[in-house]
Structure 1
Amino acid sequence: MSDTTSRALSLLNLLQTHRHWPGAELAERLGVTERTVRRDVERLRELGYRIESTPGASGGYRLEAGSAVPPLLLTDEEAVAMAIGLRVAASQRLVDGPDTTLTALAKLEQVLPGPLRRRVNALAETVWPAGIRSGAPVSTEVLGELALACRDHERVRFTYTALSGEVTRRRVEPHVLAPADRHWYLLCWDLERNDWRTFRVDRLSRVEHTRVLFTPRPLTAEEIEEFILVARSWAPQNIEADAVMELPFDEMRAYFGQWGQGATAEGEGHTRWPMGGGDFRDAMYALSWIPAGVEYTTSLPSPEREELREALERMLRALDAPPPPPLTRS
């Protein structure tokens, strides 16, 4: 392989890994001049790759979608990951998922070298997608657009239909896509709310790339897991109620963290917090997290209100009664 061809393939690999590359940085990565980069870009364009260039000191290059699919350059690791991902996708509730992913998988595995194919088979046997089989169908196009935005740290706009039916247009900085239980979730920084938000992907539509890049905000793996856990629990419950606590809104949100989502200020010194669950025990658990010493009222309905009262009265009697004698062991 000639140096020119090898360099062009290296350039293509870089263009496929990020949405936008400054010309100077590409030249530095490849160890050539910016003029050489421009010539290599022209060679790739002749091969069918649609590469957009922007002039100026902050200009650069980005790989765009064209009218046809040009050859795709993959590393061994990327090919293995893609083959396993296609196998997983074929079993999930993606729109047109099984047919599309199986044909794509057949084409990819047909050209995989023997060692890579064996790696795919070995890994695929140990990979089991976590519980999104019976969820709402998700558009593969929407998932793909959001994945690109997460990878490239690019702000996007999209239309979101909430569970209540309310339709809003959102502008966000996408952070991560995560499957959980039966759905896909997008965790992002909502620029209008100035806070983290988690959206169900099956309720997303009309994703629009803004081409505005951002610096990701720090977020640990544990925090991501907590966001997704909160989003999974944010659904209609058998019991729904509010707790209005004598705690200013800012203090409440600082104490509850992401579990304070949905809370609203109730005057200057009070906060209304929606909570609930499958039965009165879930409501009792939620109320137990209100900080010690903070008085509150709750709209817990009947008959759960009476059930909770009876359970608490028995607990108080048990705490007031003498403890049982210790267990005697023979």
Structure 2
Amino acid sequence: MLALLSLLQTRRDWPGHVLSERLGVTTRTVRRDVDRLRELGYRIGAIKGPDGGYRLEAGSELPPLLFDDEQAIAIAIALRNAASSGVDIDDAAERALATVRQVMPSRLRHRIDGVRFVGTGSSVRADPAVLEAVSGAVRDRATLRFDYGDRSSVPRRTEPHGLVSRNGRWYLVAWDLERDDWRIYRVDRMRPRTPTGPRFEPREIPTRAAAAFVDARSKGSPDRDTWPCVGQFEISLPARDLVPWVHDGYVEEITERFSRVTAGSWSWTGLISYILRFDAPFCIIGPDELVDAADVAADRLRPAAERIREFDSGNDPDPG
């Protein structure tokens, strides 16, 4: 019955035969369980026709905290992982978990208590009230004014288009009305002013999606979620050892112990350092800018290594 209720809450209409297939029971069992849910106070309507089925009526008053086992575990994990959300809700999440736990049957309490892990919470936290205000402005397409950082200047005036959570921090992608350009703002530095301004017609974000826009700017690209410098190299490591560390690059297996990697960085020198971290012999395929960066890096490293040797020998290095 809980599995049936969970399905009914995920979409508006469910044909009876689809429910029976999803639950692995007969359509007769589905009808019987629907009747039982109605007796418990759930308003479930019947859909007529050849594909007749069931619908959970809008505005139904649902009895609280009827979770199946998987939902209970999901709630425990989500609440215990609140620290990594980047929002200052640790205490509220702990109290919510305690409340949920108290009304669970002992079988589920035992499973929830068994979910233990250590999270890596962000050191920068967004105020839940600020996050709610910014999110509401995005939803309502309302002009948003806010003070930003420690500056006591004129407040920013923006058209908010999207909220993005990335690496434990929250960002607002907005059109800045004073600068007539797209900007990214950290929510933990924002202090919204009330009330919000007039509604606006949404613009098209250069990358179409707000998350892609944040990713593009983090890579040094103004309008595409790609690195400005992309190169290719071959390295004496098996593909299976490279895949976990290449992230948004590509790995091609050449032999069992040799691979070709395509990767990007914000600069050609940065890409050289990216390659060197694998600590294995490699050769650069291209482009020429990457080869030139390798030559420059080698010219910088040789004198640095010589100075280290002079230090070790007790001689004063030549400052020139």
Scaled by the length of structure 2, the TM-score of the pair is 0.41
